[in-house]
Amino acid sequence: MIRRVFIALLLLVSPLLAETPTQRVGQPLEIREIYIPGGEVKAKPRRDRQPPLMVRVVEVKPAKDGFRYDFEVQGLDAGSYNLAEFLEAPAGTVIPAIPLEITSGLPPGLVNPNKNQAGELPKLGGYRTKMMVFGGLWVAGFVSILLWRKKSSLAAGTDAAAGASLTERLRPLVGAAAKGELSSDDRARLERLVIGHWRERRPDIAAMAPAEAMMKLRNDADASPLVLALERWLHAPSNTTSPGDIEKLLAPYA
């Protein structure tokens, strides 16, 4: 009897003498070698998120008239707690008070971060934006120069063609036709030059369609040599046509 009274008094007084375990919110707290007389106790199951402590029994070691326990506790809210309220024991077993402290304070040596202060937003842009703008301007300028040079070349070519005689305009086209190197556009241009020339000199073909005019020119004494030669080269190009032959064909157009 005296022994049981002594143990009970010791259990009641020991929490007052021992230093209260303390840990920060969210950090695990280990409480080791806690002697509890009687039957084996277990952590109460968490049925919802209301309990401020998460308790886990890490190890149970048999001891005389009871057990020794190692607990791991994680506090979810700051405050002072009694671990015994989060344990369940069999009938006849009284769990002594197991105080612990959960705090939200920082450990010694750490300071709170500085508060954010309102400041001016950085200006839109920067080195990358400037480089993109300069690059875009350079590309636009380069394209403008290319278009201007192409337009100038076309204008120069048009002026040169406008100043050239009919023979000078026909000569390269006829030479290309003889070699079979005449493009569709140049062939159409060649036919327009030939028909246009003879329309000015043959009132009877002035109102004819191009195809009809070409048929008419096949039988014309002056126009037929070049027209028939063009038809022949269309099917059988010749590399033996000399410049003298071309000049003879172009004689009626001088």
Query: What's the predicted TM-score (pTM) here?
Result: 0.40
CA distance 202 to 199: 5
- Phi and psi at 48, nearest 5°, equal -155, -170
Are 92 and 39 in contact by the 8 Å Cβ rule? The answer is: yes
Contact 214, 198 (CB under 8 A): no
Closest CA to 86 of 108, 78, 199, 95: 95
Contacts of 59 (CB under 8 A, 6+ apart): 69, 70
User: What does the pLDDT read at residue 209?
Assistant: 86
Coil, strand or helix: which one is 37? strand
Question: How do the pLDDT tens digits run along the chain, 254 residues long?
Answer: 555 555 555 555 555 556 889 998 989 999 999 999 999 999 999 888 889 999 999 999 999 999 999 999 999 999 999 999 999 999 988 999 999 999 987 777 777 778 888 877 766 667 778 888 889 999 999 999 989 888 877 776 665 666 788 888 889 988 888 888 888 888 888 888 888 888 888 888 888 888 888 888 888 888 889 888 888 888 888 788 888 888 988 888 88
- List the Cα angle 200/233/251 in 5-degree steps: 40
